[in-house]
Amino acid sequence: MKLLSNGNTNAKTIKNELETYIMYLAPADTIGTANLCPFASEGCKKVCLYTAGMGVFTNVQEARIAKTKFWAEDRYGFYEQLNKELLAIHKKAQKQGKKIAVRLNGTSDVDHIDMLKRYAGCDWLQSEHVIFYDYTKNPNIIRKYAGTNYKLTFSRSECNDAQAMEVLNSGGNVAIVFSEYIPKEYNGYKVINGDETDLRYYDPYNVVVGLKAKGKAKKDTSGFVIQN
């Protein structure tokens, strides 16, 4: 099975100025034997976009679960397959003389970059033609990849405000979901509109990436969504 999907099937990634590929796995503890979102809050789980868009279809969910079980049961096989697909994307980008963006955590929060190096022996941070970006709630990953070719945006939830402010205070970016509108400023930090494009790679540093509540998030009462 293909692990990466072309971003033109996603309502947000299709807005990206670069061709984008994205990997969708089953989030949190969906498969019951592994947790792909270890830092997910209860509010995050309730409003997860896993079943949004194409994810509403049973066959799509089953495919994502199958990929996730592949990841959980055969790490070497999974990352050899993922690396093979990335090499094909790299070859395409190199041939066309352009950059292609990849988001490995469409609906998960796993350090795939590290595992690609560990299991497939390929350091993708050295790539000039394939660039990587993701959202994460893992503060350790934010610190680990600061200043590298892997652009990470920390995701605020109802229970990690302190960590979100720590990321902002250290010059990083934080994604925050707002209920009614995206403000121009939040806690003294500039807010950019994160709904205009999904390509976080080129965002300026030290900003809040504002996202408007969608789907289940419109009815959130946990505090995951900032009510404004």
Distances (CA, A) of 206 to 70, 76, 154, 211, 215: 37, 36, 11, 16, 28
> What is the rounded average pLDDT for all residues in the chain?
91
Residue 17, number of CB atoms within 10 A of its CB: 11
pTM (2 decimals)?
A: 0.92
The counts of H helices and E strands in the chain are 6, 10
Compute CA 129 distance to the chain's CA centroid, rounded to the nearest angstrom. Answer: 19
What are the C-alpha distances in Å from 162 to residues 78, 101, 155, 159? 35, 30, 12, 8
How many residues does this entry show for the chain?
228
Of 36, 45, 42, 175, the closest CA to residue 110 belongs to: 36
- Given a cut of 80, whether residue 124 has pLDDT beyond it is yes
At 53 the pLDDT is 54
When pLDDT is averaged across residues 158-169 and rounded to a whole number, the result is: 96
